[in-house]
Structure 1
Amino acid sequence: MSENTSSSQATRRPDGTHRVVITGMGAITPAGVGVRALWSTLMARRSCIGPITKFDTEGYDVHIAAEIRDFDATEHGLTKKEARRFERFVQYAIVASDEAMAQAGLDREAEDATRIACVFGSGIGGIDELQSGFTTLLEKGPKRVSPLFIPTMIGNIAAGNLSIRYGLKGECLNVVTACATGAHCIGAAVRDIRHGYIDAALTGGTEESVSPICIAGFTNLSALTKAEDPSQASLPFDVRRAGFVAGEGAGAVVVESLEHALARGANVLAEITGFGSTGDAYHMTAPEPSGEGVTRAMRQALAEGGFAPEDLGHLNAHGTGTPANDATESHALLALCGDDRGRSVPVTSVKGATGHTLGAAGAIEAIVTALSVAGDCVPPTAGFAEADPECPVNVVVEAKMNYPQKVALSNSLGFGGHNASLALSPYRA
C-alpha cells in the first residue's frame, strides 16, 4: 500500500519504496553516556581529549586520546557476568543500544521479530582481547588461551549479542569498512527497509580503539597527531592540523519504515532521505586527492532523497584533522556544490570534541546530524581556529541557531577508499 490507512500520510517515496525514519538514538562517547551528554558537549564546543589513562604510554610518541573515562558497565545495565565476558566494544554497543531501543519504544512482544534486523559494526573489534590472547599464547602456551577468545574478539559479536539481547531475528550483520563502518551499517539497514526486506532495524557502530597496539600502529602510520596539549590536538580543517586523535564509543539508532512507525504510534525524530556509497579504487590508506569518490557519494545521497546540491543545509564532515582527509573532503564539497556555493555551505566536524571514534564515528555523527536538522541548528567545530587555504570551506565556529534545513549530509570515509554519505532531513508528514 502507498499510504498508511490510519493517518493518510504518504509513507512511500515517488518510486514506491518505503520512507525510512529514525525513532530511537543512543550514544556513549568521550563526552559521557547518552545522546544528551554528546549534544551538550558539542554545542558548548568542549573538547573531551586528555592524557591516556588506560595504559602506560612511556615509550610511545602519542600520549593523548579521547577516552571514555571511569566506565563501569554494571552501572549502565550490564550484569557482572556480561561485564566480565564482553569486550569493551560490545559493552559500548549495548549501552548505546539500550538507550536507542528505550527511546524507540518498540513493543518486542507485539512485533514480528523476524522483521527486525540488527546491522551493527566495528572497524576493529576486540583489539584488547586480541592483544591479550597473543600475549598469553606466547608467554604461557596454547593450552592457556581462553576458550572464549574467539567469540570475545570477533568483530561481528557486537551485532550477535545485541540481537540476542533484544530478540531480533531479522538478518544480523556486521558491515566493516574501517572508519566508515557506522555509516555503512546504517545505510545497509536503510536499503533493507526501503525495499521491504525488513520493517525496522537496530543499527550503528562501536569501537574500543584506545589500546596499546592500536595507538602504536596508528602512530607509526603517521595518522595520529603527536601534540601534547589536548586543546590543540584535534583540529579539523585547521592549517595546524597534524593527524587525528583516537577516540572510542558507540552510536546506535533504531530505523523503521515510516509505515511501521506510524502504525505503532512511534515518535519520529528525523528521516533518512538518502544514502550514497562509493569506492576510490586509489590507495590503501590515502584518499583520492580530488575527492571525486566522495563527491559521487554525496551526490547519490542527495539524489536518492530528491534533492539538488543547492538544497544542502550543512555538511557534517568526516573531518578527521589529518592533512589529506580534510583537504580532500573540502575539494569534494566544492565539486558537489560549485566553488561559490561550496565555500558558503556550513561545515562541522565532531572530531574536534570527541576525537576519531573510527568504526563508531559514522553512527555517532548521523545522530548529531539528525539532531541538527530536527532542531534547525548546526553545532560548532571544536579545535578549529586558523583557516587553511587548502580547505576553503565554511567551518562553523559558533552554533548556528534558527537555521531550518531541507537536508544535511553526514560523511564517513574509511581506509581502503570506502566512502559513505547519509542524507538526513527533518521529518515532514
Structure 2
Amino acid sequence: MSRLPVIVAQGGVSPAGRTSGFHGYRRLVLECLDDQSQSDTLAALRTLRNLPEGSSREDILSGTLIRELENNLFDHKAIPVHQAVQAEAGSEFILKGRRLPNPLPAGWQLEKREDGQIKVRIETSQQLMIPATRESLVSAAGQLPSGFAPEKLYQSRNHPRSLTMTVFGASDAIYSAGMDWNVIKQKLSPDQVAVYSGSAMSQLDFNGNGGLLQSRLLGKRVTSKQCPLGFAEMSADFINAYILGSLGGTGTNMGACATLLYNLEQGASEIRSGRRRLVIVGNSEAPITPEVMEGYSTMGALTTDAALRNLDGLSEAENPHWRRACRPFGNNAGFTIAESSQFLVLMDDELALECGAEILGSVADVFINADGFKKSISAPGAGNHLTVARAAALGRAIAGEDALRYRSFVQAHGTGTPQNRVTESHILSETAKVFGMDSWPVAAVKSYVGHSIGAAGGDQIMATLGVWKHGFIPGIKTINGLAEDVYSEKLNILQNHLETGVDQMDLALINAKGFGGNNATALLLSPGTTRKMLKARHGDKAMTQWQKKNESVTRQQDDYEQRCQSGESNPIYQFGEGVLDGGDLTFTGEQVNVPGYGQALNLEMENPFWHFN
C-alpha cells in the first residue's frame, strides 16, 4: 500500500501577494470574503508592499496582479539597445586614449591632440554600434506587488532575482508549516528528505546568465557569481545550503510550463514509494526581462499593446486595458508573462499525523505524457489528452463516480492564447463527455497573475488550496464571453466566481501544457477527502492524537502570521552556519550518523536485483 503525499504547508509570493495564510488566493476573490478575511489580506498586502498605515484599499490593490510594467525591473519605454550605423570613409571622432579598443580596428588612423585625447579617422567605410533605446511592444506583466523587494530582506549579495524570490518563498512555506524544523529532523534520516526546485529558464537577469552573456557586449566584466548562480537548479541548492541545511535528495526537473508539476511528480512519487518522507517542492521564475519578453513576442506568443487595443477597439492614443491583458478562453491575442515563487511542503501520511501537521490536501499523482510527432516544437499535440484522462480516471478510482462528476473542478493551463483556448477546451470537453460530467467547473488563474512559465503550476495549486479553505473558485473576470471556437459542451468555464462551500469539492485537476510537448496533469485531493483516507488507514485514535498535536501547530502558524502582518518576519538565510564536513560524521559499516538528524542513514542494503552467484 502506497504512502499518501500530504500537503502540509504552502508558501511563496506572486503578483497576488504572499502565498501563506491563503493571502495570494484571497486577493483573487477578495470581494467574496467576509470583512475580517478582507481586512487581514489588505493588511498583508500593505505590509508586503511597504505602504504606510492608513493606505486606501484602492492604493493597496493597485500594485498587484497583472498591470503595466513598472520601472523597478526595467524601463519598458526606453530599453537599451545597440543601433548599427554605417560610418563612411573619412569620418572622424574624438576618444580618450584609455578608451581605444585593442587591437585597433582595421582602417583606423590616430592623431594625438594637445589635450591628451585621440582623434580617430576612419579610412574605410565600416559599421559601428551606437547606444540607443527602443520601446517595448508589450507593456503588461504579472509583476510581484509594487514595493516588494525580496533582495532587501536578507544579505542577498547580488543574487539573481529568482533566487531572492526562492529565499522568501521557501522560507514562507517552512514558517507557515507551524513546526520546528530541528524537531522534525529528529524523526528523520538525511536521505528521507529531498528538495526539488528550480526554474524552467534559469536565472536570466543581469546577476545571472543574463549578465554572463551581456557583460562584454556592454563594456563590463563578467563577475565571479553570474555563471554559478545562473544554473536552473540553483533554487534547490539555495534551499539546501542556506535555509534547511539538508543533506538529502536534490535537483530539479525542467519541462517548460509544466516544470513545477514535473518536480511535484518526482516528490510525490518518492513519498509514495517510501524513499522520502519529507519533500520541499517548488519553482521560482523571474522571466520579466527585455530579452525574454522580446523572444516570446517575436514568436507571436505574448499579447502586445497593439493587439490589446485592437481587441477592445481602442485608438493608438489610448492605453490598453493592461489589467485585462490575459483572457483565457475569450477573444484573446496571447499570454501575459509573469514572475512567481511557489513552494509546497509534502510529508507522508504517517509523518504528517505524527507531527500534527496542517492538512491542506494531498497529491494523488501527477501524470506526464509527451506529444509524440509534432508539426512544430510549439504546436500542441495528443499528450495532454492522455494526462487529463489519466488524472480523471484516478480521481474516479479513489473517490468514486459521484465525486468526479459533481465534486471536482479543473485549474486549466489557460494561457490566453488563441491556440490554447481551442486545444485545451477541446481536451476538457471530451474528458467531461467520457466521464459523465455535465457542467465541469473550469478556472484559469493566469487571468489574474499571468503566466510565470515554470512556476505556473504553483500558482494554480495556490488558487486550488484556497478554494478548499474559503469555498470560492475564482472566475475568469477578464473576458466578456467565450470565443466562438472554444469547446464548451459539458463544461462550466467560469466567468464569475463560483461559490462551492468550504471543502465541498473532493478533487481538483491541475493542468499544464508546455512548449515542446511537456504535458502534465496533477490530481489533488481535498483536505476532507485526505482526512477520510487517513482515518481509514490509521484509525480514530491516531486522528484524535493528530488533532491534539495540531493545536500547537496552529498556534505557531498564528504567531508567524502576526509577525508577517507587523513586518517583523524575515526570510531564513543561514550563510556559513552549521557547515559540516566528513569529520563531523560518524561512520560504521552499517550506518552513518549525521549531526542534527535523529535517525542514522542506513547502509545495510539488500540487493534489489536478482542473485547471480
Same fold (TM over 0.5): yes
- Deviation string 1:133-165 (CA, Å, 9 cap, x unpaired) is 222123437xx2111111221111011001112
Q: Secondary structure at the match of 2:498?
A: coil
Q: Secondary structure at the match of 2:522?
A: strand
1:233 partnered with 2:312: no
RMSD: 2.1
- Deviation string 1:271-320 (CA, Å, 9 cap, x unpaired) is 112221111122311212xxx32121122223345245536611000000
TM-aligned CA deviation for residue 67 of structure 1: 1.1
TM-aligned CA deviation for residue 91 of structure 1: 1.2
Alignment match, 1:409: 509
The residue identity in structure 2 corresponding to 1:229 is H
Alignment match, 2:351: 260
TM-aligned CA deviation for residue 243 of structure 1: 0.3
Q: Secondary structure at the match of 2:359?
A: coil
Match of residue 378, structure 1, among 461, 473, 480: 473
Provide the C-alpha distance between the structure 2 equivalents of 1:248 and 1:79, rounded to a whole number of angstroms: 20
Alignment match, 1:246: 337
1:51 partnered with 2:61: no
Contact kept? 2:199, 2:285, Cα under 8 Å: yes
Provide the C-alpha distance between the structure 2 equivalents of 1:382 and 1:91, rounded to a whole number of angstroms: 31
TM-aligned CA deviation for residue 216 of structure 1: 0.5
Structure 2 gaps of 5+ residues are 32-60, 78-134, 309-319, 533-613
Instruction: Evaluate the alpha carbon distance shift between residue 232 and residue 139 of structure 1 in structure 2; reply closer, same or farther with a 3 A threshold.
Output: closer
- Deviation string 1:26-52 (CA, Å, 9 cap, x unpaired) is 121112233433112211488722221
TM-score by length of 2: 0.63
User: Is the radius of gyration larger for structure 1 or structure 2?
Assistant: 2
Q: Secondary structure at the match of 1:127?
A: coil
The residue identity in structure 2 corresponding to 1:420 is A
Structure 1 gaps of 5+ residues are 1-15
Q: Secondary structure at the match of 1:244?
A: coil
1:121 partnered with 2:198: yes
1:167 partnered with 2:245: yes
The higher-RCO structure (CA 8 Å, 6+ apart) is 1
Instruction: Evaluate the alpha carbon distance shift between residue 302 and residue 258 of structure 1 in structure 2; reply closer, same or farther with a 3 A threshold.
Output: farther
TM-aligned CA deviation for residue 349 of structure 1: 0.5
1:210 partnered with 2:288: yes
Match of residue 180, structure 2, among 101, 107, 111: 107
TM-aligned CA deviation for residue 182 of structure 1: 1.2
Alignment match, 1:426: 526
Instruction: Evaluate the alpha carbon distance shift between residue 340 and residue 323 of structure 1 in structure 2; reply closer, same or farther with a 3 A threshold.
Output: farther
Matches within 5 A, 1:26-425: 26-35=11-20, 36-44=22-30, 48-53=65-70, 54-58=73-77, 59-68=135-144, 69-73=146-150, 78-80=153-155, 82=156, 84-110=157-183, 111=185, 112=188, 113-128=190-205, 129-140=208-219, 144-164=221-241, 165-226=243-304, 227=308, 228-238=320-330, 240-281=331-372, 282=374, 283-288=376-381, 292-305=382-395, 306-307=397-398, 310=405, 313-338=408-433, 344-391=439-486, 392=488, 393-403=491-501, 404-425=504-525
- Deviation string 1:53-106 (CA, Å, 9 cap, x unpaired) is 22222332111111113222255xx422x2x33211111122111111112234
TM-aligned CA deviation for residue 260 of structure 1: 1.0
Alignment match, 1:3: none
Q: Secondary structure at the match of 2:266?
A: helix
Q: Secondary structure at the match of 2:510?
A: strand
Provide the C-alpha distance between the structure 1 equivalents of 2:494 and 2:349, rounded to a whole number of angstroms: 32
Provide the C-alpha distance between the structure 2 equivalents of 1:304 and 1:121, rounded to a whole number of angstroms: 28
The residue identity in structure 2 corresponding to 1:286 is A
Provide the C-alpha distance between the structure 1 equivalents of 2:386 and 2:508, rounded to a whole number of angstroms: 15
- Deviation string 1:326-383 (CA, Å, 9 cap, x unpaired) is 2111111122121795661010011111011111111121122122235443122231
Instruction: Evaluate the alpha carbon distance shift between residue 132 and residue 343 of structure 1 in structure 2; reply closer, same or farther with a 3 A threshold.
Output: farther
Deviates more, 1:419-428 or 1:396-405: 396-405
Instruction: Evaluate the alpha carbon distance shift between residue 340 and residue 394 of structure 1 in structure 2; reply closer, same or farther with a 3 A threshold.
Output: farther
Contact kept? 1:346, 1:395, Cα under 8 Å: yes
The residue identity in structure 2 corresponding to 1:32 is G
Contact kept? 2:196, 2:251, Cα under 8 Å: yes
Deviates more, 1:103-112 or 1:267-276: 103-112
Match of residue 10, structure 2, among 25, 30, 46: 25
TM-aligned CA deviation for residue 398 of structure 1: 2.5
Contact kept? 1:26, 1:253, Cα under 8 Å: yes
The residue identity in structure 2 corresponding to 1:418 is N
Deviates more, 1:217-226 or 1:93-102: 93-102
Provide the C-alpha distance between the structure 1 equivalents of 2:281 and 2:2, rounded to a whole number of angstroms: 20
TM-score by length of 1: 0.89
Provide the C-alpha distance between the structure 2 equivalents of 1:64 and 1:159, rounded to a whole number of angstroms: 30
Provide the C-alpha distance between the structure 2 equivalents of 1:421 and 1:373, rounded to a whole number of angstroms: 19
Contact kept? 1:334, 1:341, Cα under 8 Å: no
Q: Secondary structure at the match of 2:524?
A: strand
Q: Secondary structure at the match of 1:272?
A: strand
Deviates more, 1:226-235 or 1:181-190: 226-235
Identity over aligned residues, as a percent? 26
Deviates more, 1:380-389 or 1:320-329: 380-389
Provide the C-alpha distance between the structure 1 equivalents of 2:254 and 2:414, rounded to a whole number of angstroms: 20
Q: Secondary structure at the match of 2:227?
A: helix
Provide the C-alpha distance between the structure 2 equivalents of 1:232 and 1:203, rounded to a whole number of angstroms: 30
Alignment match, 1:5: none
Alignment match, 1:13: none
Contact kept? 1:373, 1:408, Cα under 8 Å: no
Provide the C-alpha distance between the structure 2 equivalents of 1:174 and 1:415, rounded to a whole number of angstroms: 18
The residue identity in structure 2 corresponding to 1:234 is C
TM-aligned CA deviation for residue 120 of structure 1: 0.7
Q: Secondary structure at the match of 1:201?
A: strand
